[in-house]
Amino acid sequence: MKPILLFPLLATASLIGASATSIVCKQCHPTIYGEYYDSAHRKASVFNDPVHSAWWKLMPKSKQGYTCAKCHSPSDKEALKKGVLTENGIQKEEPISCVYCHTIDYVQQNDTANINITTGKTREFFTAEASKKGSGIAHFQTHTSWFGLNRSVENSPYHKINYDNENYYNGNVCMGCHAQSDNGHGFDIVMLDALIDKKDKETCISCHMPQVPGTKVTLKETKTHAYHGIAGIHNMTEALGKYIDFNVSKRADGFDITIINHANHALFGQAYREGVLKVTLKRDGKETALPPAVFTRIFGKEGKETLPWEATQTLKDSLIYGKKRLHYPVRLQKGDTLTLVLGVRRVSQAGLKALHLQNHSELSRFKPLKYETYRF
């Protein structure tokens, strides 16, 4: 337990006590706040994310106004309850705030889209820590030693900590937004129905919020903390490669590559997302790029490709579910070197065109997930 002076701490707590914005969290969680600020959660609004902005501009508008707030800016109460979208501090700085995520009590499962049910509390937050699971709500405590000369604290002087919400341990807290979302035709355009059960070895949190070096709080040093930048398409993309395996097998007429997906959801299922496997064969000092494999899902209506909100069917589904086997009609020889790189593009070239984002070529940059080299 780290000795500290008590009166500056209490003064700080008093100073920030009137605020409920995420920047308050920076006082005690500077590393986590820095990660959050660079995350997809902080950048989820129309005003921070060019992809979401493009979707909203193209989508047909309804009397309900801005209907994306449930997941993209739930911290903006005007947007959430009234469908009123304005460029304000919440939309820019914390559309999905620290308080919002840490007060999700449970996820209400609906046929068309799930709903997060929050506690409404601002000073009692859920978290997951295996050693404290079942310990209930932790309150701020002070301890003294050496006849009062040393003082130390435990837990937070600003908020209570609730360690008992199972959804924060099994990852289902994420599934209010990262699950199905039907368009107006009852067609699911998200397709991440990945509710965790006891047989799953990994969860949304263990994969996308892995433990990384650095203390989670300044009041008590820890060796690691859960990464709040959200590992994935935006940050720490290669960290997800550990959940993907390759297998190469020689055949009489060439070779097969099997991609094994250990996640509990299909890879690259989001609209206009595109996974790509690049295969390079090196023989006698010469490198040859074999045709890449592309993994995507294309929406349609009446047999023709269409925008997601108009879709009623899937025209193409080449996603990676549990396993994906690919055949290459090239016979491998002794001395050959085969290099595999599986990566992802946030938005495909076709998606850039459909969303009028041709000036945002960075959105289509290839980001590697997994490398592997085989020598024969």
pLDDT in tens, 88-122: 999 999 999 999 999 999 999 888 889 999 998 88
CA distances 78 to 24, 89, 176, 208, 304, Å, are: 22, 12, 20, 30, 37
Q: Hey, is 48 helix, strand or coil?
A: coil
CA distances 7 to 4, 143, 144, 321, Å, are: 9, 14, 14, 55
Taking only the tens place, the pLDDT of each residue in 192-240 is 765 555 677 788 999 999 999 999 999 889 999 999 999 999 999 999 9
Q: Rounded to two decimals, what is the model's pTM?
A: 0.87
CA distance linking residue 349 with residue 357, whole number of Å? 9
Q: Which residues pair with 119 in a beta bridge?
A: none
> Which DSSP state fits 152?
E
Taking only the tens place, the pLDDT of each residue in 286-333 is 999 999 999 999 999 999 999 999 999 999 999 999 899 999 999 999
For the chain, domains (ranges, CATH) are 6-42+96-226 (no CATH), 237-375 (2.60.40.10)
Residue 11: band (very low, low, confident or very high) from pLDDT cuts 50, 70, 90: very low
DSSP per residue, 344-363: EESS-HHHHHHTT-TT-GGG
Q: Are 88 and 79 in contact (CB under 8 A)?
A: no
Backbone angles phi, psi at 101, to 5 degrees: -65, -35
First to last CA, the chain: 55
- Between residues 233 and 151, which one has the greater pLDDT? 233
CA 301 to chain centre: 29
User: Token match 């397709």: residue?
Assistant: 191
User: Token match 């604290």: residue?
Assistant: 153
Question: How much is the average pLDDT of 146-155?
Answer: 69
What pLDDT shows up at residue 316?
94
DSSP per residue, 182-237: B-TTS-BSS-------TT-S--HHHHHS-EEES-S-SSS--SEEE-TT-BTTTB-G
Nearest of 374, 134, 348 to residue 255 by alpha carbon: 374
Mean pLDDT of the chain: 90
* Tally of CB atoms within 10 A around 252: 5
> Which DSSP state fits 166?
T
Residue 16 has pLDDT above 80, yes or no: no
Residue 369 has pLDDT above 90, yes or no: yes
DSSP per residue, 30-41: HHHHHHHHTSTT
Q: What is the largest CA-CA distance in the chain?
A: 81
